Amino acid sequence: AVVSTQSTGKRCEQTLVEQTNTLKRMRAMEETNRLEKHGLENKIEEFRLKVTGLQEEVDKNKELYVTLSQEKEILKKDYDKRLDNFQQRASDEVLTQLRDVKARCDEEREQMLIQKEEDMLMSFAEERQQIEARIHTQLTQEFEKRLESEIENSQKHWSGSTNVSS
C-alpha cells in the first residue's frame, strides 16, 4: 500500500509538473500574442496618421484650388472692368475690334483655365489612386503577415496541445 501511494504521489507530481509547464507555455504564448496585437495596433495607428496626413494634403490642395478660383474671379472682374473703361473711350471701330479680340481672349483664357483645371483634377485623381493603392498594398501585406503569424501560432498551439495531451 505504501509503494502504491508513493507511485500515485509520483504520478501526481509528474502530472502537476507537466500541467505547470503547459500553463507556462500557454502564458508565454498569451504574452506573445498580446505583444503582437499591441504591435499591430501601433502599426494601424501609424497608417491612420499617414492617411490623416494625406487627407490634410488633399484638403490643402482643395483650399489652394478654391483660393485660385477666387483669385481667377477677382482677376476676371478687374480685367473686365479695365476693358469696359477702355471700351468707353474707344471709337466705334476700335470698339468692335476690341470686342472681337476680347471674345477670342476670353475663349482662349477659358480654354486655358478649363485645361488647367482638368490637368489639376487629373493630377489629384492620379495622386489619390496612387495613395489608395499604396495604402491598400500596405494594409494587405500587414494583414497577410498577421494572418500567417496567427496560423503559425495556432499550429504551434495545437501541435503543443496535442503533444501535451498525448
pLDDT of 82 reads 86
pLDDT of 94 reads 73
Integer angstrom CA distances of residue 44 from 26, 38, 59, 95, 144: 26, 10, 22, 66, 14
pLDDT of 127 reads 92
pLDDT of 97 reads 83
Weakly modelled stretches of the chain, pLDDT under 50: 165-166
Q: Is residue 91 left, alpha or beta, with left meaning phi > 0 and alpha meaning psi from -120 to 50? A: beta
pLDDT of 129 reads 94
Integer angstrom CA distances of residue 141 from 45, 64, 145: 16, 34, 6
pLDDT of 20 reads 94
pLDDT of 111 reads 94
Cell numbers linked to 137: 498594398
Angle (CA) 146 150 151, round 5°: 120
pLDDT of 91 reads 66
